Amino acid sequence: MKLWFTRGVWVSGNARSKAAALSIASVRKIAVIRHAALGDMVLTRSFLVELKKAFPNAKITLSVASHYMRGTPDDLVDRIHIVHGTDQRRAKFGEKYARFKELGRQDIIFDLAATPRSFLTCVLNKATLKIGFPYREMQRRLFYDIAVPRSDLNFEVDDMMSQLHSLGVRTRYPHRFNMPGIPIRRNRPFLIFFTGASTPAKCWPEDHFSKLIDRLSADYPALDHLLLKGINPWESGESIIRPLIDRPNVATVEADTIEETVNLLLGASLVIANDTGIRNLAIVCEVPTVGIFFATDPYRYWPRHSGMHEIVLLADGGVPTVDDLYASCTRILSGETVN
């Protein structure tokens, strides 16, 4: 195999000779490390789709952390390797060490996490080539043979694909996620509002959501406007929906499993959400989204390729207004391409 870059990628002194010892046909074992929560986990699907296509003879192992199992794309890999997470802090050192080592010898390791756990996984398991995208220069030299650029200003899937591009793998664009599921069909088309997030600090104000849903439900009476309840106490949506009880096309909806959530999202005309895993899940379902950003960096989770995803943010970092969100939602509902 050849390394297909001249500049802009960090490479160890013997990485090119290591790559030359491999060929597409000879690569039989590949590990992908993705110790990440739901939103980041599901974005990995596109990388795995391209990986399987590029290395048809390889057995692919996905390494995950035990506390980050939701949304694991086990349909796209041959084996799941699980390291101890924060839910298993009491495990003995020897048990944790042995679990890391269970990944085993690989031809190629792709690290899509760049976390302390993923660094340990790289160090404790041998591979002909180890490829990652750490932020710090020292981490490149300690853990990898090849380190590709990574930036919070890029959609993270694009930076994942750079690891494949370094080996001359031609990936498809727009990205393909191949999310399995059966779209839920209702009597009327519907929008999904998800008002929660991992912490309350990332949640758009509840009264803003109430006003947005009120306005959209009045202006789009042929659509149902459904508020998806979350699992955390601040994600019930009860105070948001209470002022809208008289709206016949406004209701709450629940989905108890990832499969139920995917099927619901697949049937939606639009998903409006904070920076949360539910929005990333909608992205891989290839459903239009409007994302609300004021507490976190937006560009890592803004796919530009399809023209159907919008982000709402203010340059000064302030909280977007109801008018800001309404304008973005109406652009997508009118069929206007986002650019």
Dihedral in degrees, nearest 10, Cα atoms 68, 71, 73, 79? 40
| Helix, strand, coil percent values for the chain (each to nearest 5) | 35, 20, 45
Collapsing DSSP to helix, strand or coil, 257 comes out as coil
Assess contact for 23 and 128: CB atoms under 8 A: no
Q: What are phi and psi of 191, to 5 degrees?
A: -105, 155
Q: What angle do CA 204, 320, 226 make, to 5 degrees?
A: 50
C-alpha of 319 from chain center: 24
Write down the pLDDT at residue 238. Answer: 86
Tokens found for residue 282: 């909608």
Residue with tokens 């994942």: 160
Using CA atoms, how far residue 21 sits from 26, 87, 107, 167, in Å, is 9, 40, 10, 13
Domains in the chain (CATH in brackets) are 10-165 (3.40.50.2000), 190-333 (3.40.50.2000)
Distance of CA 41 to the CA centre of its chain: 5
Q: Would you write out the chain's pLDDT as a tens digit for each of its 339 residues? A: 999 999 999 999 999 999 999 999 999 999 999 999 999 999 999 999 999 999 999 999 999 999 999 999 999 999 999 999 999 999 999 999 999 999 999 999 999 999 999 999 999 999 999 999 999 999 999 999 999 999 999 999 999 999 999 999 999 999 999 999 999 999 999 999 999 988 889 999 999 999 999 999 999 999 999 999 988 787 888 899 999 989 999 999 999 899 999 999 999 999 999 999 999 999 999 999 999 999 999 999 999 877 899 999 999 999 999 999 999 999 999 987 766
> CA–CA separation, 91 vs 168, rounded Å?
41
How many other CB atoms are found less than 10 A from the CB of residue 5? 15
Check residue 176 and give its pLDDT: 93
d(CA 101, CA 243): 55
CB-based contacts of 162, cutoff 8 Å, min separation 6: 133, 148, 149
Amino acid letter for position 26: S
CA angle 238, 242, 248 (to 5 degrees): 115
Position 339 scores a pLDDT of 62
Looking at residue 56, its amino acid is P
Query: According to the model, what pLDDT value does residue 276 have?
Result: 93
Q: What DSSP string runs through 30-87?
A: EEEE----HHHHHHHHHHHHHHHHH-TT-EEEEEEETT--TT--GGG-SEEEEE--GG
